[in-house]
A and B are shown apart, each in its own frame.
Chain A
Amino acid sequence: MIDVTSLAKSYGDLRAVDDVSFCVNRGEAFGLLGPNGAGKSTTIHLLAGVIAPDRGKVRLDGADPQEAIVRTRLGVSPQELAIYEELTGEENLRIFAALYGLRGDALVERVHWALDFAGLTDRRKDRAAKYSGGMKRRLNLACAVVHDPELLICDEPTVGVDPQSRNHIFESIEALRASGTTLIYTTHYMSEAQRLCDRVAIMDHGKLLAADTVDALIEAHGGSSLVLAEFDEPPPADAQLPGTLDGTQLRVDSDKPFELAAELGRGPHRVRSLRVERPDLEKVFLQLTGRSLRDS
């Protein structure tokens, strides 16, 4: 559905997006994972046709999203709260519905749907300025989907959101996915990418480092699993054990963690607890960039 080819955008000496290519299939959920400043938002702006690339191209079913008519198929929920706080929730939705060409009964119907989607039906007559942070985030997302887009682009939709609203946003997005909406989702939270996305692209310093399913990325870049065992008593110093022993605790990196765990259980030393930590996207990011996602 979306084809991105050799996309590049610079601001002065800063290469915000550097030769990025990927494609997103219809109905797929595609994650852009990377730290702040990785180039995710610039990529989103390029996808949405807000800015023109220095090089490369973006095509939505073959059409350029810089053309206004093509953008009617997109819905974008920006990272910043892009709502009119002086207006009510309903008025905000009506404006964006109208800008996307909805009129009359269709507009009214979609606005009611979006209010329900955002859980704001009871507060629809209140000015957005009076909403909580979570409610504003939900309205921000609702404004992006009020016109029923084929492709929804969410740029860090859960930043600064309380757990309740965050869960509401997740459930809402999952419902959209279930209804067939294609999703591009940027985040620097690995758990969000793992939960929502079929495929994930990892970005850093404007470059797309890898893009695949979560399992494939871990398989390719996650490295070994970690096996953590705790014995009832400290094994003797000359015990034949793999990994690093610290008192009663043993840490072992292994490509076959479950086989190793079973072997430890059968060994001469009584095991009190056993834990296997599989590599995750954090580890993938560490492997690819040499630094932690949280530290970036």
Chain B
Amino acid sequence: MNTVVTLAKKDIKVLLRDKFAMFWIVIFPLGYAVFFGTVFGDSGGPRAGMYVALVDEDGSAYSQAVMEQLAAHDAVLVDAEESGALLNRSLDEARELVQKGQRTAYLRLPAGFGENPYALFGGASGDGPQLELGIDPGRQAEAGMLQGVVMETVFGALQERMLDTDTVLADLGEAQLSLAEADDVDPTQKFVLTTFLSALKGFVSAFDMGQLGLGTSDDADGADATVGGFGAPLAVVDVTRQRDGEPRSPYDITMPQGAVWGLLSVALGFGITLVRERSSGTLVRLRMAPVSHAQLLGGKALACFTCCVGSMVLAILFGTVVLGLRVDRPDLLVLAMFSTAIAFTGLMMTVSVMGKTEAAVAGSSWGLTMPFAMIGGGMIPLMFMPEWLQDISVVSPVRWAIISLEGAIWRDFGWADMATPSLVLIGFGAGFFALGVFIFRRTGG
């Protein structure tokens, strides 16, 4: 085993010092994923921002004002009808969109929300109908930010309402009427409050409220600061995603594609190193050492496998940290990476015996792997391919690699779902490896 590890470390070291190979293994795949992910993202597909579905069950002017404030916020996107009016969805519809990952969250404005806009100042939490923010529990960062944005817009709408003299006078009139009808209020307090409301009504009547300069809706800091002090008019509801996964962002599609390009480069890189060793004489030297055929190939395979896994880990880490990629099933991702690395290690072995010179191997291996990439979804996502081409793509390990990676990242695969692509990939790996070893031994290494 020491011999295999020594050979593998040597091969990895040699590969890491080949700048050209590292470009194709590291830079190109990430560049591919970022470039096409960005292009898809700007072409009308689902966005990777805070896309909020609106559910207005209140239908009041105040709820409409809150929604418009939200729509105007820079950090939020909402759906609009062709006429420009905000699209009001049913609660079930909005929840489904969030469950499928097509919307970041939904905001529900319940019936009765607009009846008492001043409930924010009403003391205990839970008084009156609460706003409802439905969001995936995994999106903690977005949830926190959206709570702040919603509270900011609610206070903004309330502020606008208080700047309208007629509305305030009407609200004060309703308050006086309610006070007069109340039986459970202490007479002394009732007198004081009635006097105060009358004075306030007189004050509001004497001025144009719009000229009082109560601040602007851009005063976001003030709005945020008041959230804690006025209880919690916003309830956050967990929305569990459905099992039939959909991509949450274009990077869900382009990152696995990019990772597969990295894997192809690893397989080709190691395939070429084997023929380079043959032509440079180091292969003969290794065989003059106490190294068996099996150890020689084992070392090459271990190095290729390690680099395949490393390449995928790097791509996924980059996607997670930089592009906001989220892995639904890390445990299945480990299985996907393992089986994918086996497949591409086997492919490396076949590639390495496809010629006697570096140029021959490079040329013939691209001839083999490019069709795999083309029909397997490495260039055009599988979902955009015609059905007949998707049927043909089953012969490509690229297809199964992408499906297994997507399965762990966003397709909501379970262990049973992952079994097929994993077994197919391992089968591909074993088949390719056996073919490569057969040719290698037949040609005397």
Q: Across the interface, do B6 and A98 meet the contact criterion of CB distance under 8 Å?
A: yes
B285 cross-chain contacts in A, Cβ below 8 A:
76, 78, 82, 96, 143
Task: Answer whether residue A54 sits at the interface, using C-beta atoms and an 8 A cutoff.
Answer: no
> For chain A, which range describes its interface: under 10, 10 to 19, 20 to 34, or 35 or more residues?
20 to 34
Chain A residues positioned under 8 Å from B280 (CB to CB): 80-82
A78 and B284 in contact, given A84-B14, A86-B17, A99-B6 (Cβ under 8 angstroms)? yes
Whether B287 pairs with A100 at a CB distance below 8 angstroms is no
Residue A120 at the B interface, CB < 8 A? no
Chain B, residues 286-298, CB within 8 Å of chain A (1/0): the string is: 1111111000000
Residues of A contacting B: mostly: loop
Known A-B contacts A68-B291, A71-B289, A99-B3; A86 and B284 likewise in contact (beta carbons under 8 Å)? no
A23 surroundings in chain B (CB, below 8 A): none
- How does the 8 Å CB contact mask read for B269-287 relative to A, with 1 for contact and 0 for none? 0000000000011101111
Within A68-91, the residues touching B (CB, 8 Å) are 68-69, 71-72, 74, 76, 78-84, 86-87, 91
Contact present for B282 and A84 (CB under 8 Å):
yes
Q: Which of A24-32, A42-50, A160-168, A259-267 contacts B (4 or more CB under 8 A)?
A: A42-50
**Bound Cα distance A292, B281 (Å):** 30
Nearest chain B CB to A231 CB, angstrom units: 56
Residue from the list B2, B6, B14, B290 in contact with A72, Cβ < 8 A? B290
Q: 1/0 per residue A189-218: CB within 8 Å of B?
A: 000000000000000000000000000000
Chain B residues closer than 8 Å to A127, beta-carbon distance: 17
What range describes how many residues of B lie at the interface? Answer: 20 to 34
A49–B288 CB distance below 8 A: yes
A101 contacts partner chain B, Cβ-Cβ < 8 Å:
yes
A95 touches B6 (CB 8 A): yes
**Which of chain B's residues have a CB closer than 8 A to the CB of A82?**
280-282, 284-285
A16 to chain B, nearest CB (A): 13
Q: Does A106 contact B (CB under 8 A)?
A: no
Given contacts A50-B284, A76-B285, A82-B281, contact A91 B13 (CB under 8 A): yes
* Interface bits B2-24 vs A (CB < 8 Å: 1, else 0): 11001100100110011000000
Q: With both chains docked as a complex, state the minimum distance between the C-beta of A90 and any C-beta of chain B, in angstroms.
A: 12
**What residue in chain B is nearest A48 (Cβ atoms)?**
B288
B144 close to chain A: CB less than 8 A: no
Nearest A residue (CB) for B285: A82
Q: Check: B444 CB closer than 8 A to any chain A CB.
A: yes
Which one of B10, B284, B292, B444 contacts A68 once the chains associate, using CB atoms below 8 Å?
B292
Q: Does A175 contact B (CB under 8 A)?
A: no
Contact of B282 with A100 in the complex, beta carbons under 8 Å: no
Q: A211 → chain B, closest Cβ, in Å? A: 23
CA distance A84 to B7 in the complex (A): 12
Bound CA span A100–B284, Å: 15
* C-alpha gap A103/B5 in the complex (Å): 13
Q: A49 contacts which chain B residues (CB < 8 A)?
A: 288
Contact among A74, A78, A95, A103 for B281, CB-based, below 8 A = A78
CB nearest neighbor in B for A101: B290
Q: Tell me how far the C-beta of A201 lies from the nearest C-beta in chain B, rounded to whole angstroms.
A: 21
Residues of B within 8 A of A98 (CB): 2-3, 6
Min CB–CB distance B49 → chain A (angstroms): 45
How far, in whole Å, are A68 and B289 apart by their CA atoms in the complex? 7
Shortest CB distance A77–B (Å): 9
The residue among B281, B287, B288, B292 with the most chain A CB atoms within 10 A of its own CB is B288
Interface residues of A in 98-120 (CB under 8 A from B): 98-101, 103
A-B pairs, top 9 by smallest CB distance, nearest first, are A80-B281, A82-B285, A82-B281, A68-B290, A76-B288, A48-B288, A86-B17, A98-B6, A71-B290
Q: List 23 A-B contacts (CB under 8 A).
A: A48-B288, A49-B288, A50-B287, A68-B292, A69-B290, A71-B288, A71-B289, A71-B290, A74-B288, A78-B288, A81-B280, A82-B282, A84-B14, A84-B282, A86-B17, A87-B13, A91-B13, A95-B6, A96-B285, A99-B6, A99-B289, A100-B290, A127-B17
